[in-house]
């Protein structure tokens, strides 16, 4: 009786070979990207190919070993997809990091003084990739059972709030590019919000697992909508409003949107009630309406105005109280009248009593996409550096210029596949907490990609969020690698076979839990 089932393969088998093959493919892709950059930009295979590509290959191999050894049933796609995205981002940053180019290196060798003003740094990004993959390995190693996190959900929720509050602390936080989301620890600047994102998912998942039945069954019915009791909703609303309040103070609208979407989607997953989505969309509309009316949130209005009509803002535009936009770009009358120097646009706008904004970055990004067309210029052959922050916020547009629509579709598909594997993990997980956790983590990744990619392609108003795995930045890389580590761990738990009965028969069975 016990022999027959053993001959039938399990539906979920370890797919180590497939994982390794895809990982090797991802490495080949990354090395090809580096080679193409080198050949097109410098006319030779780049000297950094061994350093960067080899470094990434060793890291990916180590990550594969940890996954194959400690989470053999893990989904075979997550790690290779993340490595592929990270590798492509690294190649693009290498391409934008002018200090790696042949001209600059020759000049340095000849003893000439070189000034490279670029902020893109492939070396730093490789170091952060190293840290990120290390964190991935540690997550897979030590997070033996993701359910442990459920025990610490209130602690982790409090940690998320503290992390969000940190940038407001004077002396620790600082405002960069209009958003107060960084803290400085020694020489490093860290975005704590990236990590708070993961902690909040844990908190929401843990809380909703306990309360989901009360939330979906008990409550008042108003028309077709079933509203839950206040006491079920209270704590989660408090933490949510608190989080959003912090974000409004920090003027980080992208992250606020991200948390809001996370909140709505996780309640929807937990209760399976469409009324929550309707309530969420209604609250979002209300929130935007309120934000446009509040005087101290003037930048929201401006964002919307730039989104609807970016042209007058190019190189500087002034939004008057009447709602009219006057261009104060260099060469225009107000600019010359205000002194015709750097900053004259701002001065001219202040004189007119309007609010100054500049859409040049967004529009240059759009020009880059247009320049790329369907097939792109080819890596190393476009001019993506013309867009400010082409290596971080606008790396998607840089990719669009050099890889074209064909390449962008691949990048979006890679994200979609990661999200699909995450959702698959959520569907096949046996534990409701893990279901919610995996679902929330996948959704937050999808929403983040949507908000930033939608922003730089002018589908939705531009808000600052990092492009996961592609954009330069340590915090984002570390947080996203931890996210992949958690997903790998959860997919291992979801896909490994159920504990086998050692005895054949009987009411009491001895099962092996390992």
Partner 1 sequence: MSEFTLTLIKLAFLAVLWLFVIAAVGVIRADLFGSSRAAARAAARSRAPRPARRPRPQRAQQAPQPRGPRQLVVTQGDRAGMTIDLATGGTITIGRANDATIVVSDDYASSRHARLFAQDGQWIVEDLGSTNGTYLGRNKVNQPTPVPPGVPIRIGKTVIELRP
Chain residues in the site for partner 1 (CB under 8 A):
1, 4-5, 7-13, 15, 18, 21-22, 25-26, 28-29, 32-33, 36, 39-40, 43, 76-77, 80-81, 84, 375-379, 381, 403-404, 406-407, 410, 413-414, 417, 420-421, 497-498, 500
State how far the Cα of 86 lies from the Cα of 480, in Å rounded to an integer: 10
> Tokens in use for 123?
């070396």
301 vs 442, which CB is nearer to partner 1? 442
Q: How far is the CB of 178 from partner 1 (least distance, A)?
A: 35
Question: With b meaning 16 or more CB within 10 Å and e meaning fewer, what string describes 414-424?
Answer: bbeebbebbbb
83 vs 247, which CB is nearer to partner 1? 83
33 vs 120, which CB is nearer to partner 1? 33
Q: How far is the CB of 329 from partner 1 (least distance, A)?
A: 35
Q: How far is the CB of 3 from partner 1 (least distance, A)?
A: 9
Question: Residue holding tokens 């309707």?
Answer: 278
Q: How far is the CB of 85 from partner 1 (least distance, A)?
A: 11
7 vs 117, which CB is nearer to partner 1? 7
3 state DSSP class of 326: strand
Q: How far is the CB of 346 from partner 1 (least distance, A)?
A: 41
1 vs 115, which CB is nearer to partner 1? 1
Helix residue ranges, H only, 294-431: 298-308, 333-337, 344-352, 360-372, 395-428
Q: How far is the CB of 102 from partner 1 (least distance, A)?
A: 12
* Burial of 247 (C-beta count, 10 Å sphere; 0-12/13-18/19+): buried
Q: What is the DSSP string of 116-177?
A: ------HHHHHHHHHHHHHHHHHHHHH-S-TTHHHHTHHHHHHHHHHHHHGGGSTTTEEEET
State how far the Cα of 464 lies from the Cα of 113, in Å rounded to an integer: 35
Q: How far is the CB of 32 from partner 1 (least distance, A)?
A: 6
State how far the Cα of 354 lies from the Cα of 358, in Å rounded to an integer: 13
81 vs 438, which CB is nearer to partner 1? 81
197 vs 421, which CB is nearer to partner 1? 421
Q: How far is the CB of 65 from partner 1 (least distance, A)?
A: 19
25 vs 188, which CB is nearer to partner 1? 25
Please report, in angstroms and rounded to a whole number, the separation of the first and last CA atoms in the chain: 23
Q: In this structure, are residues 153 and 210 in contact, taking their beta carbons and an 8 Å threshold?
A: no
Spatial CB neighbours of 159, under 8 Å, sequence gap ≥ 6: 196, 199
For residue 445, give the H/E element and its range. Answer: helix 432-456
50 vs 375, which CB is nearer to partner 1? 375
State how far the Cα of 201 lies from the Cα of 446, in Å rounded to an integer: 14
Q: What is the DSSP string of 333-369?
A: HHHHHTTSSTTHHHHHHHHHT-EEE--HHHHHHHHHH
Q: How far is the CB of 43 from partner 1 (least distance, A)?
A: 5
Beta pairing, strands 179-185 & 355-357: unpaired
Q: How far is the CB of 390 from partner 1 (least distance, A)?
A: 19
281 vs 427, which CB is nearer to partner 1? 427
**φ/ψ (deg, to 5) at 431:** -95, 135
């Amino acid at each position: 009786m016990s022999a027959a089932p053993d001959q039938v393969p399990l539906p979920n088998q370890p797919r180590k070979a497939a994982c390794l093959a895809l990982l090797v493919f991802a490495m080949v892709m990354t090395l090809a990207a580096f080679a193409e950059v080198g050949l097109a930009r410098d006319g030779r295979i780049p000297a950094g190919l061994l350093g960067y590509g080899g470094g990434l290959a060793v890291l990916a191999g180590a990550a594969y070993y940890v996954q194959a050894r400690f989470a053999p049933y893990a989904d075979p796609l997550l790690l290779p997809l993340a490595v592929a995205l990270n590798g492509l981002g690294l190649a693009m940053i290498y391409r934008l990091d002018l200090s790696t180019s042949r001209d600059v290196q020759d000049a340095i060798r000849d003893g000439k003084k070189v000034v490279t003003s670029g902020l893109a740094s492939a070396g730093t990004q490789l170091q952060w990739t190293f840290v990120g993959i290390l964190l991935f390995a540690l997550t897979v190693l030590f997070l033996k059972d993701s359910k442990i996190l459920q025990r610490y959900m209130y602690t982790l929720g409090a940690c998320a709030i503290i992390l969000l509050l940190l940038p407001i602390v004077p002396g620790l936080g600082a405002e960069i590019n209009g958003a107060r989301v960084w803290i400085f620890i020694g020489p490093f600047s860290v975005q704590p919000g990236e990590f708070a994102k993961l902690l909040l998912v844990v908190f929401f998942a843990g809380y909703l697992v306990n309360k989901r039945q009360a939330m979906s069954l008990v409550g008042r019915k108003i028309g077709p909508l079933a509203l839950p009791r206040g006491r079920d909703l209270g704590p989660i609303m408090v933490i949510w409003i608190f989080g959003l309040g912090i974000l409004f103070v920090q003027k980080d609208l992208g992250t606020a949107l991200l948390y809001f979407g996370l909140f709505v989607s996780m309640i929807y997953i937990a209760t399976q009630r469409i009324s929550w989505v309707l309530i969420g969309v209604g609250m979002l509309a209300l929130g935007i309406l309120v934000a446009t009316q509040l005087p101290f949130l003037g930048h929201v209005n401006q964002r919307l105005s730039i989104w609807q009509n970016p042209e007058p803002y190019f190189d500087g535009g002034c939004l008057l109280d009447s709602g009219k936009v006057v261009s104060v770009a260099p060469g225009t009358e107000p600019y010359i009248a205000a002194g015709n120097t750097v900053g004259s646009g701002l001065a001219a706008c202040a004189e007119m009593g309007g609010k100054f904004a500049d859409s040049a970055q967004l529009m240059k990004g759009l020009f880059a996409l247009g320049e790329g067309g369907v097939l792109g210029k080819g890596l190393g052959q476009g001019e993506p550096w013309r867009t400010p922050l082409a290596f971080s916020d606008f790396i998607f547009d840089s990719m669009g210029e050099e890889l074209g629509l064909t390449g962008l579709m691949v990048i979006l598909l890679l994200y979609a596949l990661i999200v699909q594997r995450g959702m698959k993990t959520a569907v096949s997980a046996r534990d409701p907490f893990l279901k919610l956790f995996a679902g929330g983590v996948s959704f937050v990744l999808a929403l983040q990609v949507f908000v930033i990619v939608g922003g730089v392609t002018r589908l939705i108003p531009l808000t600052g969020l990092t492009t996961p795995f592609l954009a330069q930045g340590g915090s984002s890389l570390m947080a996203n690698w931890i996210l992949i580590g958690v997903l790998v761990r959860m997919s291992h738990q979801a896909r490994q076979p159920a504990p086998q009965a050692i005895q054949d028969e009987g009411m009491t069975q001895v099962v092996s839990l390992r």
